[in-house]
Amino acid sequence: MAEKGAEKAAVDVSVAQRTSIPSGESAVWADVSPLLEAACKDLGDGDLVHGDNFNLFAAMSALEIMDPKMDSGMVGKYYSVDEAVENGAAPVPISFEKTVDVQCTIDIMDHLLACEATWHKGHSLAQTVFSCIYLLRPDRTSSHALLHSYCRVIRATCKAVVSVVSDARTHETVGRSFLELKQCCNDLVLQFPESLEEKRKSKIEEDLFTMAYGLPLDGDGDEKCLSLLNAVEETISRQLRACKAQSSRRRVIEDVEPLQTNLDLEEGYCKALLCRLRFRKHFYHVLTSMRRPQGRGLELARKHIASCITELECVHKSSKFLRAIASGTCEDGIEDKTTASGSQPIGFDASLNCRLSAPTPPRSIKILSWKKAIEYFSKLLHHLDIICSYSLEPLLEGVLQFVVQFQKSQPDLVARAHLQLLLVQDGKLYGRESIFSVITRAAALPDVTKNHDIQKNEYIMQLGQLVINMLKILCTNAAWQRRKLGKMLQDWRVIYVQLELVFRKDFGEVSGIPDDENVCMKIFQHILVWVEEQTYWIASRFLILGFELELYSPSEYCMVYWYIYVVLIKLVEKKHIKMAARNDTSKQKVKKKRESPKDAAREYRVPPAVLFVQCQIFLVEGLTMMLAALKNEHMILQSPSPFNTEQERFIQHFELLQKACIPDHVSYPSFKESTTYARFSTLVMYNYFKDAQRIAKEVKSSFSNDPEKLAELRKIEQVAEHNSIALNLICRVGALDRSLKVSFEFSHHPYFATAVVKRS
């Protein structure tokens, strides 16, 4: 027994030595596996052996080893990059046969494109682009000019993209975004569990995105990637020319060594490579010129975007040629492949640097297919083009409209980051308009204000910061944006109260004030109105984003539309006051010039911008009342929520608005009060939808040069028309026919519902 023990001990010591994991002083590692096995046999079902400090709940959070979703250290095929390289996982050259080498290089390029798109979609850089062993060892490729130049430009591009996104960050931390997420989930989990994954992803996308610890993003000389790329491009285009000349039996222009050995394929390979290289070149140019200050590079960027799109189309077309050659290997399932040829690329292993993506748990990643990657990049380029063709409008209202419109096309992270960096540079709009002058214009202040001392006022400066924050937040993803806007409402409210206090203190008991002070007073008055208008605009955006994020259940539509209604009423009121004031000042000027009494007497016309909101107001009021009447007359089955009452849900949805008193004196009782008595018999007498339709028709002509507003009006008109018909139908038939089923769809407008009446 003792002998056996000694033998074991010797083995154990060797374990410890081999692993160089030290045991305690004058101690050894004793094997306890047999003991554990025996103990487990003796344990009853569900029994645990644990100490006093054990807490089952805490134990649940233990990291599970060998679980692919939790254990980022799982050893894959290789123990390290070096070992992989030594084992020939990423040979240079890829093959000594030149044709194969070119073919494999193209596969690597394609797979990298797929990886890059996957990264942009929110996965870690380490597990996507840098799963490429060639990228991880920048020096190794130097003898292979083609691969080397491509790897360099990829690294440089990744670095540029990381810098855009990290510069544009709204400085959310992982911890905070999880908290935010939890809040979001509370709203979501009951009704829409399937959309949770999407929401979660969008929350942490930015955090994952910029994580690049330990990756060789700064390869030696990568900043000069373009010169090498150009040289390689030049060589290949000469090879292409040479092979074309040969095939047409013309004289051989110059002594060019062909790209590879199979002359039948020379032209195809040259072309496939050229468009890939050129795409990279132009894409890199796009990124760098878009970063030029004050939007000075936008025009140049547009040219490169156009070239990028052309080259991307060529890349797409090249797949026919590449697939034909590789067809021996595989035919089916090309849709899921990550390369144009459909072959598996050489030199990739995502498990090698999986651990670099810590502290996040590893996610099992499915790299996008090559086709999807191409689609992604053309979408990205399209979005970047929208940004680059933007007129850099100085009027804040226009900026907001542009950003909201841009967000409707659901741009991804990279495009959004670019937009944000364009809008806010050095604390100025586009890096050139001071925020105070932006406010001056937005609040319709007289021109003299621009140099007025008031801009040094502490609260005015804070207001400027709020405007900047708002612009940044509007460029983030919908979930984050909504949460942030909701929280920001309180800041806007506080600044309003503070400005009002200052205003009261300075001009409270004045009469017959001198002209200069008169200007000051006017400025304050205008700013106050504008701050309120802006606050209500944010509130309406906050509410509407809830539809985009599918946060509302059909049983809550009534209260949501009601809240939108009360917010829009306030918005239109402030807008109207502002515009009337603006008209006043401009009219005064006119009067002074012409001094004609006729002009002053001219009939006052409601500005189209006000009518536009008015038309939305009628629509939401109609929807509120229709939903309330359906409920009151028991035509919509209201299954009471098992989890919370209507009042609780009201508080859940509008807590942030209520906290900021937006609007004042609005609460659950006032919602109940205004909807309890809604009946179809009264609704049909006053049909809100008809009014919405009428105004939409009227106001259209005023927006003939604003296609977006026009499209919006057309949609509103459609919703109003459908709902008006539905309303009449329900009124006529509803009382008699109890089998009538009414449901709501977003078929004509993303957030104004259309009623659908069916007989069950």
Sign, CA dihedral 232-238-242-245, equals positive
The one segment of 3-11, 447-455, 629-637, 739-747 that binds other proteins by CB under 8 A: 3-11
Stretch that binds other proteins, among 5-13, 536-544, 589-597, 730-738 (CB under 8 A): 5-13
The vertex-583 CA angle with 581 and 587, nearest 5°, equals: 120
- Indicate whether 3 belongs to the interface with other proteins (CB under 8 A): no
Choose the stretch contacting other proteins; rule: CB under 8 A; options: 19-27, 89-97, 165-173, 416-424.
Answer: 19-27
Distance CA 451, CA 263 (A): 72
Shortest distance in whole angstroms from residue 354 CB to other proteins: 12
Instruction: State the nearest-atom distance from the C-beta of 69 to other proteins, in Å.
Output: 13
| 9 touching other proteins, by CB under 8 A | yes
The H-or-E segment that residue 643 falls in is none
* Distance in Å, CB of 83 to other proteins, minimum: 5
Nearer to other proteins, 37 or 453 (CB): 37
- Output 26 or 391, the one with its CB closest to other proteins: 26
- Out of 62, 252, 601, 637, the residue judged to bind other proteins by CB under 8 A: 62
For other proteins, the closer of residues 13 and 733 by Cβ is 13
Question: Which of 2, 637, 685, 736: binder of other proteins (CB under 8 A)?
Answer: 2
| 18 is an interface residue for other proteins by CB under 8 A | yes
Decide: helix, strand or coil at residue 436: helix
The answer to whether 66 contacts other proteins (rule: CB under 8 A) is yes
Which among 351, 383, 368 has a CA at the least distance from the CA of 118? 368
CA 79 remoteness from chain centre? 36
List 10, 57, 65, 338, residue binding other proteins (CB under 8 A): 65
Under a CB-based contact definition with an 8 Å cutoff, are residues 443 and 529 in contact?
Answer: yes
Q: Of the ranges 17-25, 460-468, 497-505, 515-523, which one interacts with other proteins (CB under 8 A)?
A: 17-25
Q: Which of residues 657-716 bind other proteins (CB under 8 A)?
A: none
Q: x/- contact string, 312-351, with other proteins (CB under 8 A)?
A: ----------------------------------------
Reported as type and span, the H/E element at residue 744 is strand 740-745
* Location of structure tokens 């009853």: 44
**Cβ closer to other proteins: 57 or 96?**
57
| Cβ pair 360, 200 in contact under 8 A | no
Min CB(215)–other proteins separation in Å = 17
Size of the site for other proteins (CB under 8 A): 62
**Residue selected from 3, 10, 42, 698 as contacting other proteins according to rule CB under 8 A:** 42
Helix axes 145-168, 413-423, angle to 10 degrees: 60
Give yes or no for residue 73 binding other proteins (CB under 8 A).
yes
> What is the SS3 assignment for 161-219?
HHHHHHHHCCCCCHHHHHHHHHHHHHHHCCCCHHHHHHHHHHHHHHHHHCCCCCCCCCC
Measured from the CB atom, the residue of 63 and 501 that comes closer to other proteins is 63
Q: Tell me which of 23, 344, 638, 681 binds other proteins, using CB under 8 A.
A: 23
The span from the CA of 28 to the CA of 10, in Å, is 9
153 touches 225 (CB < 8 A): yes
DSSP 517-530: HHHHHHHHHHHHHH
Query: Which residue from 35, 448, 497, 725 is in contact with other proteins, where contact means CB under 8 A?
Result: 35
Per CB under 8 A, the list member of 3, 10, 26, 343 interacting with other proteins is 26
Closer to other proteins at the Cβ: 38 or 601? 38
Nearer to other proteins, 34 or 707 (CB): 34
- Both tokens of 696, joined, read 């939409």
Nearest to 608 by CA among 708, 695, 518: 695
Sequence-separated (6 or more) residues with CB below 8 Å from residue 388 = 290, 298, 299, 301, 302, 305
Within a 13 Å sphere around the CA of 7, how many CA atoms are in the beta-carbon half? 4
Using the contact rule CB under 8 A, the part of the chain among 61-69, 215-223, 290-298, 438-446 near other proteins is 61-69
Give whole-number Cα distances, 453 to 387, 460, 495, 531, 729, in Å. 35, 11, 19, 19, 61
In the complex with other proteins, the residue whose CB is nearer, 356 or 424, is 356
Tokens (6 digits) for 238: 């000469």
Residue 150 sits in the site that holds other proteins (CB under 8 A): no
Distance between CA 692 and CA 716 in Å, rounded?
Answer: 8
36 binds other proteins (CB under 8 A): yes
What is the token pair recorded at 409? 């096309």
Stretch that binds other proteins, among 15-23, 216-224, 653-661, 691-699 (CB under 8 A): 15-23
Least CB distance to other proteins at residue 44 (A): 7
Sheet holding 424-425, edge to edge: 424-425, 428-429, 433-434
511 binds other proteins (CB under 8 A): no
356-385 mask for other proteins (x: CB under 8 A)?
A: --x---------------------------
Alpha helices, DSSP H, located in 390-514:
396-408, 413-423, 435-442, 458-474, 478-507
Query: Binding of other proteins at residue 175 (CB under 8 A)?
Result: no
- Residue ranges binding other proteins (CB under 8 A): 1-2, 4-5, 8-9, 12, 15-16, 18-21, 23-24, 26-54, 58-59, 61-66, 73-75, 78-80, 82-83, 355, 358
